[in-house]
Structure 1
Amino acid sequence: MLYSYIVEKSIRQSFDHINNHRWDAAVKALAPHVHHRVSGAHALGGERHDKEALRRWFQRFGRVLPTLRLTVNHIWVKGWPWHTTVFAQWDGTATLLNGDTSYVNRGLHMFTLRWGRVYAIEEFFDSQAAARGLAAQGASGLEEAVAEQIVS
């Protein structure tokens, strides 16, 4: 039980780092060859297979949706320190550059940890809502919101 509590606290802290654009802190617990996957044909989609590419992705994430706030609703931890699976369910809201305050998304992150290091992150959310939000950001002049995916 104590192990699950520590992992949950760490995952919540990671979301706090993301919400506050602390990218160095966000990538600190990542394994060098982390696998990160986001579905969808948009600037935040694609797969990354290393820590540096994921750092660049986080930086882009902060630039293209600067007001996005992720609220973690539930975290489930399963496994032992040598192989842990974590699910984090969240709600996200943002105000877009055009003043639209209706951007809402809901999703689930699945993390794979080994001895406290994150080896894989898979994100499941409404990729069409994300694509629409990014298109609106692009139409407001933020070209990176409609750029090619960061992949590695």
Structure 2
Amino acid sequence: MVYAMIVKKKIRQSFDDVNHHRWDDAVKDMAPDVHHRVSGTHALGGERRGKQAVRRWFERMGRVFPTLRITLDEVWVTGGPWNTTVFARWRASEALLDGRGRYENRGLHVFTLKWGKVRALEEYFDSQAADRALTVQAECGVAEAAAEPIAG
């Protein structure tokens, strides 16, 4: 019980770090060889390994969606410190640069932790909605919104 509460608090803090563009804090509890996977074939999609590649991904997300706000709806924790799985259900919203619309999405993050370090993070959401929003941002001058996914 206490362990699950501590993990939930850390996960909630990591989402707050992302919302406030504190990238170093957002990756501090990740293993050096963390595996990060995001659905879709767009500038934020793909897979990468390593804390620095994930940091670069967060930086890109912050540049293409500068006012993105992610709200956690629920966090579930299962397992012990040696092998923990965390499910985080969220909603995201961003005012698009064309002034006509918003990017709205819902999703689920699945974290795998071992001894307090994030070993894997998989993100599931409407990747078509993300792709449409990235297209708008690119058309409004954010070239990186149309870039190839960050690998690593």
Q: TM-score range by the shorter chain?
A: over 0.9
Query: More deviation in 41-50 or 97-106?
Result: 97-106
Aligned to 2:149: 149
Distance 1:89 1:39 in 2: 15
Which SS does the other structure have where 1:58 is aligned? helix
User: Displacement of 1:103 after TM fit?
Assistant: 1.4
Indicate whether 1:36 and 2:32 are aligned.
Answer: no
- RMSD across aligned C-alpha pairs, in angstroms? 0.6
What amino acid is aligned across from residue 22 of structure 2 in structure 1?
R
Aligned to 2:126: 126
Distance 1:9 1:101 in 2: 33
Distance 1:6 1:52 in 2: 25
Share of identical aligned residues, percent? Answer: 62
Aligned to 1:114: 114
- TM (norm. structure 1) is 0.98
Distance 1:19 1:32 in 2: 22
Which SS does the other structure have where 1:31 is aligned? strand
Aligned to 2:50: 50
Count of equivalent residues: 152
Aligned to 2:78: 78
What amino acid is aligned across from residue 17 of structure 1 in structure 2?
D
Distance 2:102 2:25 in 1: 29
Name structure 1 gaps, 5 residues minimum. Answer: none
Which SS does the other structure have where 1:128 is aligned? helix
- TM (norm. structure 2) is 0.98
User: Displacement of 1:100 after TM fit?
Assistant: 3.2
Distance 1:69 1:83 in 2: 29
User: Displacement of 1:106 after TM fit?
Assistant: 0.1
